[in-house]
């Protein structure tokens, strides 16, 4: 090709691109003055004439443009019918190259004459494509083959076409920023030249055939490493000639022939999807073309392994994680997968990221449904862009040029190209494919080699941190044993004795689809363990004179007193004796997402009706406890829930960044993801009822709830919500420090062990507070003035915490308080070594001593905490556990505190064994709640234990 031809080629391509672009812009302008019915005709005519222009140009230019046109003709799910109908012509052979050119190339590359190579060579080609043409032939030994011969000079043409395509894409991206296809063309420019070396294609063909375990005849062996496809054997190859075994097949776009041969199109596309899934997740690269065998059973024939992208193990894991996290709705794993693959987002919009990936992996639609599907996608895209515009505070012009993706790795582009090819294929063949069902086993297989490597084969399963004591060394051996038996996925254990850290161990991985190691500062969702923290906040308000245990809740919270709740007192709530044990059952059962709506939940509490007389029966308030306390905390203090959490607990104990109820943006990389121990779940679902639990929270219901909790609480929408009964996210060392302080009457322990890395409290987080004060309603309560704030939606966590005025006594001049915008105006929390001033605060926790008349004596709960009893009755212990097994408690008598956090939700067995070991080694009585799980049991004993799963 001379420079003159290159110049003419370039001018023709750019001229056509400009003509098509201006044509569509004129249609956009003209449709404003066209009736709605006439607009469809206007667009149809534009598509028809521009599709003809594109086709004619491709036929004239050949080269890379043919390949691009062939790809476009498979996108029936995206392109208008006119383009599909006309560009399909490119699937047929192009005009053949001169036979002399073919002979010369074959003889030059193979080093022999045609007669020395073939017993027969069919001069008429089977097909002529953009890079090569294919001829049937018979070898001297009688074997039927196909000979793929590269066009003379095609390399120069392809490289020039890539430059032109890149220039056009750059131009479109500048003119219409929303259509930026640069990542795709950049990846194509990098990979396309590899297709020009047939030795490369031959090696890839052999590799994939070996990986897939392909056989010419089905042998019935369909293990995990096999898919039911055919791949021709490679006979011989050079840079420009490839000789392959001949396989007689039908093209996928030849629907009449497929029907004539009785091919099951649904089954074929499913098998092709399985083949791609295997190649992507297992092999790490994939092919580009298919036929369908004419002989029954009809199987896909995989061809064209020239343009093959080799994926690294990191990318394969990242793609698998992206796919599986999208299925599970796990925002944390999704963002982690993005980071591992090098995809960087410019802003924090996890919900939109999840929606985009869900669209990416959506089920295919037949061509006749594609319009509806594309309209739905367009609406979703507009919704996402609006959310981004509001987040970034951009005007329309700025938004048009804003790209939310900071870095887009090429590997994802190739992966997207494969999915789009499959989507177009399904639309063309008019079949429905659910990617998630077909690809999931292959995606799981690529992670299983990393996730399933438990302590027996992973010498780093225990996080590398110093051993603080002999008991910690023994504990680690127990964790290895439990991990080897698949009872632990990820776990943290921390314990204090006499104010000193004696255990601080982390082990395992962050999630089923997240093989990163658990560290000391990882954050675990702990469910009802959160109640013990919320109860501590209530007692802190009492200790500061902002709340009275004997006060009617309706006096503090005006909206609460309706429907017979005017007699409920604060201590009834803390003692689980308010009669509102089922208050939130309907809202959580009918729409669990409403749990993240603070206003809706508080309103639901206000509308609820007691089922029993306050103070008469103690029945576990499994969900309502948190919002009862949350409403009281905010109305009594005049501050938002999270402000009190920071002020009362987090900052005094120096556990910043490791104890949240509703996480803020920025900590996602440290979050553990939940999964369920299915063995425990099956046993629990068969257990009979318990009278101490609400009717909506019996073992059968608990089992049902547990199956849905991971999918709900693995989403950032749920994790960022304020759910005071169930949404604690914390590290075991932060929780253990909290209970170590409670065990000593609120005295703050010495600094946490310096051997623990990173240091506890090294993740400071300052909430983003609004600059506007919420309107205030004032009412008198006792001797203090309390600011009652209208409740606002704080489902977005820290981003919507509002400034409010600090605690004030009646005799203060509130208008002169210059520090009213400071979050913590009470210097005592920094100046003292105690969280509480009340010398009898432990009795308050337990509902003992002077507080005994505020609790039901026979009940398992004190005032907000579970009373832990032991067989010999020698210890005073209390704390709170959560569904799934996480726990935190302290033994006051022995100045001991322990916390266990885990992400594989079991119902007490793992935690019970850990607590039993640690307590026994320290000669501390084992609480009955944990002792029953200490040894392996069966039959009646096992049923007894499962009847009382570790949930409170």
Q: Which are the contacts of 917, defined by CB distance < 8 A and separation ≥ 6?
A: 471, 474, 475, 478
State how far the Cα of 507 lies from the Cα of 161, in Å rounded to an integer. Answer: 54
Percentage, residues of the chain above pLDDT 70:
72
Strand duo 866-868 + 405-407: pairing = unpaired
CA distances from 140 to 119, 121, 146 (A): 5, 11, 14
What pLDDT is attached to residue 519? 95
Residue range 881-904, pLDDT digits in tens:
998 889 999 999 999 999 999 999
For residues 154 and 147, the answer to whether their CB atoms sit within 8 Å is: no
Hey, how many other C-beta atoms are within 10 angstroms of the C-beta on 189? 16
- Residue 873, helix vs strand vs coil: coil
Hey, how many other C-beta atoms are within 10 angstroms of the C-beta on 252? 22
- Tokens 């192009």 correspond to 94
Higher pLDDT, residue 840 or 785: 840
State how far the Cα of 453 lies from the Cα of 431, in Å rounded to an integer. Answer: 39
Write out the E strands in 38-167.
118-121, 127-128, 132-139, 144-150
Q: What are phi and psi of 305, to 5 degrees?
A: -105, 25
CA 775 to chain CA mean position, Å = 38
For residues 427 and 365, the answer to whether their CB atoms sit within 8 Å is: yes
What pLDDT is attached to residue 346? 54
Stated pTM of the model: 0.67
Higher pLDDT, residue 174 or 14: 14
Q: Which are the contacts of 508, defined by CB distance < 8 A and separation ≥ 6?
A: 461, 483, 488, 489, 490, 491, 517, 518, 903
Least trusted range by pLDDT, from 90-99, 139-148, 308-317, 818-827:
818-827
HEC string for 35-62: CHHHHHHHHHHHHHHHHHHHHHHHHHHC
- For residue 90, the surrounding DSSP H or E stretch is none
Residue range 246-267, pLDDT digits in tens:
999 998 888 899 999 999 999 9
For residues 138 and 102, the answer to whether their CB atoms sit within 8 Å is: no
Q: How does DSSP classify residue 501?
A: E
For residues 292 and 299, the answer to whether their CB atoms sit within 8 Å is: yes
Longest CA span, the chain: 111
What pLDDT is attached to residue 772? 30
State how far the Cα of 404 lies from the Cα of 399, in Å rounded to an integer. Answer: 10
- Tokens 């509806």 correspond to 372
Query: What mean pLDDT is predicted for residues 633-658?
Result: 95
Is pLDDT of 638 > 80? yes
Nearest to 479 by CA among 492, 467, 466: 492
Is pLDDT of 355 > 60? no
Q: What are phi and psi of 649, to 5 degrees?
A: -125, -55
Residue range 324-333, pLDDT digits in tens:
877 776 767 7
Query: What mean pLDDT is predicted for residues 288-309?
Result: 84
Q: What number of CA atoms fall less than 13 Å from residue 340's CA on the CB side?
A: 22
Q: What are phi and psi of 249, to 5 degrees?
A: -140, 170
Is pLDDT of 71 > 80? no
CA 13, 16, 17, 18 dihedral sign is: positive
Residue range 299-321, pLDDT digits in tens:
999 888 876 667 777 788 888 88
pLDDT band at 25 (very low <50, low <70, confident <90, very high): confident
Residue range 667-686, pLDDT digits in tens:
888 999 888 876 665 554 44
Least trusted range by pLDDT, from 90-104, 744-758, 904-918:
90-104
pLDDT band at 109 (very low <50, low <70, confident <90, very high): very high
CA 650, 524, 733, 666 dihedral sign is: negative
State how far the Cα of 355 lies from the Cα of 907, in Å rounded to an integer. Answer: 33
State how far the Cα of 706 lies from the Cα of 766, in Å rounded to an integer. Answer: 33
For residues 566 and 613, the answer to whether their CB atoms sit within 8 Å is: no
Q: What number of CA atoms fall less than 13 Å from residue 328's CA on the CB side?
A: 30
Least trusted range by pLDDT, from 386-390, 397-401, 615-619, 916-920:
397-401
What pLDDT is attached to residue 16? 85
For residues 435 and 375, the answer to whether their CB atoms sit within 8 Å is: no
For residues 950 and 905, the answer to whether their CB atoms sit within 8 Å is: no
Most confident of the following: 73-87, 711-725, 777-791? 711-725
Q: What dihedral angle (degrees, nearest 10) is formed by the CA atoms of 358, 359, 360, 365?
A: 120
What pLDDT is attached to residue 939? 43
Q: What dihedral angle (degrees, nearest 10) is formed by the CA atoms of 686, 692, 694, 695?
A: 50
State how far the Cα of 783 lies from the Cα of 617, in Å rounded to an integer. Answer: 32
Least trusted range by pLDDT, from 145-159, 497-511, 692-706:
692-706
Query: What mean pLDDT is predicted for residues 810-837?
Result: 47
For residues 58 and 90, the answer to whether their CB atoms sit within 8 Å is: yes
For residues 292 and 300, the answer to whether their CB atoms sit within 8 Å is: yes
Q: Which are the contacts of 8, defined by CB distance < 8 A and separation ≥ 6?
A: none
CA distances from 819 to 764, 789, 824 (A): 22, 19, 9
pLDDT band at 776 (very low <50, low <70, confident <90, very high): very low
Give Rg (Cα) of the chain: 34
Helical packing angle, 410-428 and 265-278, nearest 10°: 170
Least trusted range by pLDDT, from 24-28, 540-544, 578-582:
24-28
Q: Which are the contacts of 781, defined by CB distance < 8 A and separation ≥ 6?
A: 551, 555, 556, 636
For residues 527 and 883, the answer to whether their CB atoms sit within 8 Å is: yes
Residue range 514-556, pLDDT digits in tens:
888 999 999 999 999 999 999 999 999 999 999 999 999 999 9
Q: How does DSSP classify residue 398?
A: H
Is pLDDT of 687 > 90? no
Write out the E strands in 172-330.
234-237, 241-245, 249-251, 289-293, 300-303
For the chain, the average pLDDT equals 79
Is pLDDT of 415 > 80? no
Query: What mean pLDDT is predicted for residues 367-394?
Result: 60
Cis peptide before 341 (omega within 30 of 0): no
- Residue 774, helix vs strand vs coil: coil
State how far the Cα of 312 lies from the Cα of 319, in Å rounded to an integer. Answer: 11
Is pLDDT of 354 > 80? no
- Residue 790, helix vs strand vs coil: coil
DSSP string, 542-580: HHTTS--TTSBHHHHSGGGGTTTTTT-BHHHHHTT-SS-
Partner residues linked to 301 by β-bridges: 230, 291
pLDDT band at 512 (very low <50, low <70, confident <90, very high): confident
What pLDDT is attached to residue 34? 80
Residue range 429-477, pLDDT digits in tens:
888 878 778 888 888 877 766 555 678 777 789 999 999 999 999 999 9
Nearest to 57 by CA among 27, 12, 94: 12
- Tokens 């030795």 correspond to 199
Total residue count of the chain as it appears in this document:
952
Higher pLDDT, residue 582 or 241: 241
Query: What mean pLDDT is predicted for residues 1-26?
Result: 77
Least trusted range by pLDDT, from 117-126, 240-249, 670-679:
670-679
Higher pLDDT, residue 851 or 821: 851
Q: What number of CA atoms fall less than 13 Å from residue 621's CA on the CB side?
A: 35
């Amino acid at each position: 090709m001379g420079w003159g031809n290159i110049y003419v080629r370039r001018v023709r391509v750019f001229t056509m691109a400009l003509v098509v672009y201006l044509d569509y812009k004129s249609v956009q302008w003209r449709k404003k003055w066209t009736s709605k019915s006439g607009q469809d005709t206007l667009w149809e005519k534009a598509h028809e004439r521009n599709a003809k222009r594109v086709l004619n140009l491709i036929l004239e230019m050949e080269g890379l443009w043919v390949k691009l046109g062939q790809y476009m003709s498979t996108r029936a799910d995206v392109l208008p019918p006119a383009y599909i109908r006309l560009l399909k012509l490119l699937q047929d052979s192009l005009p053949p190259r001169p036979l002399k050119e073919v002979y010369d190339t074959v003889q030059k590359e193979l080093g022999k004459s045609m007669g020395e190579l073939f017993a027969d060579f069919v001069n008429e080609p089977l097909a002529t494509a953009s890079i090569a043409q294919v001829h049937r032939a018979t070898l001297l030994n009688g074997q039927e083959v196909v000979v793929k011969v590269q066009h003379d000079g095609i390399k120069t043409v392809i490289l020039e076409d890539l430059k032109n395509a890149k220039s056009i894409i750059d131009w479109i991206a500048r003119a219409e920023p929303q259509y930026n296809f640069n990542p795709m063309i950049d990846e194509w420019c990098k990979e396309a030249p590899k297709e020009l070396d047939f030795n490369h294609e031959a090696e890839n063909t052999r590799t994939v055939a070996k990986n897939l375990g392909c056989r010419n005849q089905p042998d019935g062996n369909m293990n995990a490493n096999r898919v039911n496809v055919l791949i021709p054997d490679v006979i011989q190859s050079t840079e420009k000639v490839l000789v392959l075994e001949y396989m007689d097949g039908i093209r996928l776009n030849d629907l009449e022939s497929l029907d004539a041969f009785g091919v099951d199109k649904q089954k074929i596309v499913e098998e092709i999807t399985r083949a791609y899934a295997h190649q992507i997740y297992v092999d790490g690269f994939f092919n580009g073309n298919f036929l369908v065998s004419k002989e029954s059973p009809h199987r896909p024939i995989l061809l064209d392994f020239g343009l093959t992208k080799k994926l690294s193990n990191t990318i394969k894991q990242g793609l698998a994680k992206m796919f599986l996290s999208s299925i599970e709705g796990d925002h944390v794993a999704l963002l982690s997968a993005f980071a591992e693959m090098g995809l960087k987002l410019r802003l924090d919009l996890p919900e939109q990221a999840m929606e985009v990936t869900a669209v990416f992996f959506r089920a295919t639609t037949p061509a006749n449904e594609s319009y509806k599907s594309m309209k739905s996608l367009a609406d979703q895209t507009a919704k996402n862009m609006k959310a981004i515009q509001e987040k970034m505070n951009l005007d329309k012009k700025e938004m048009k040029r804003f790209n939310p993706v900071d870095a887009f790795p090429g590997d994802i582009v190739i992966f997207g190209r494969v999915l789009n090819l499959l989507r177009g294929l399904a639309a063309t063949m008019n079949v429905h494919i659910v990617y998630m069902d077909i690809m999931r086993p292959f995606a799981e297989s690529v992670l299983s080699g990393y996730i399933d490597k438990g302590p027996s084969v992973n010498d780093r399963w225990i996080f590398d941190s110093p051993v603080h004591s002999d008991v910690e060394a023994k504990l680690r051996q127990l964790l290895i044993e439990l991990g080897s038996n698949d009872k632990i996925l990820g776990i943290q254990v921390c314990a204090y004795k006499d104010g000193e850290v004696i255990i601080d161990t982390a082990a395992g991985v962050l999630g089923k689809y997240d093989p990163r190691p658990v560290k000391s500062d990882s954050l675990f969702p702990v469910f009802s363990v959160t109640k013990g923290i919320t109860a501590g906040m209530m007692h802190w308000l009492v200790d500061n004179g902002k709340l009275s245990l004997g006060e009617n809740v309706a006096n503090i919270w005006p909206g609460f007193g309706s429907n017979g709740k005017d007699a409920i007192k604060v201590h009834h709530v803390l003692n689980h004796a308010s009669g509102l044990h089922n208050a939130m059952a309907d809202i959580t059962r009918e729409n669990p997402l409403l749990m993240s709506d603070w206003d809706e939940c508080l309103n639901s509490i206000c509308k609820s009706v007691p089922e029993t007389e306050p103070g008469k029966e103690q029945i576990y308030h499994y969900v309502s406890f948190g919002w009862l306390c949350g409403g009281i905390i905010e109305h009594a203090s005049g501050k938002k829930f999270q402000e009190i959490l920071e002020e009362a607990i987090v900052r005094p104990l120096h556990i910043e960044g490791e104890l949240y109820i509703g996480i803020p943006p920025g900590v996602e990389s440290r979050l553990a993801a939940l999964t369920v121990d299915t063995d425990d779940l099956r046993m629990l679902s068969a257990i009979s009822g318990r009278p101490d639990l609400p009717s909506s929270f019996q073992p059968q219901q608990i089992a049902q709830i547990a199956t849905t909790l991971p999918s709900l609480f693995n989403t950032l929408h749920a994790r960022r919500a304020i759910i005071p009964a169930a949404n604690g996210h914390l590290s075991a060392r932060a929780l253990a420090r909290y209970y170590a302080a409670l065990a000593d009457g609120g005295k703050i322990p010495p600094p946490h062990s310096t051997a623990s890395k990173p240091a506890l409290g090294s993740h400071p987080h300052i909430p983003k507070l609004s600059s506007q004060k919420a309107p205030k309603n004032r009412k008198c309560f006792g001797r203090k003035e309390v600011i009652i704030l209208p409740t606002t939606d704080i489902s977005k966590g820290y981003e919507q915490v509002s400034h409010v005025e600090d605690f004030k006594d009646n005799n203060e001049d509130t208008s002169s308080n210059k520090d009213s915008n400071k979050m913590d105006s009470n210097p005592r929390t920094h100046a003292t070594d105690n969280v509480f001033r009340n010398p009898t605060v432990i009795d308050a926790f337990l509902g003992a001593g002077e507080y005994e008349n505020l609790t039901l004596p026979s009940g398992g709960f004190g005032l907000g905490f579970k009373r832990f009893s032991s067989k010999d009755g020698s210890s005073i212990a209390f704390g709170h556990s959560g569904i799934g097994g996480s726990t935190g408690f302290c033994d006051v008598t022995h100045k001991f505190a322990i916390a266990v956090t885990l992400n594989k939700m079991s119902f007490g067995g793992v935690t019970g064994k850990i607590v039993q070991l640690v307590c026994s080694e320290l000669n501390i009585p084992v609480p009955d709640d944990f002792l029953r799980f200490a040894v392996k049991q069966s039959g009646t004993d096992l049923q007894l234990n499962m009847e009382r799963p570790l949930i409170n």
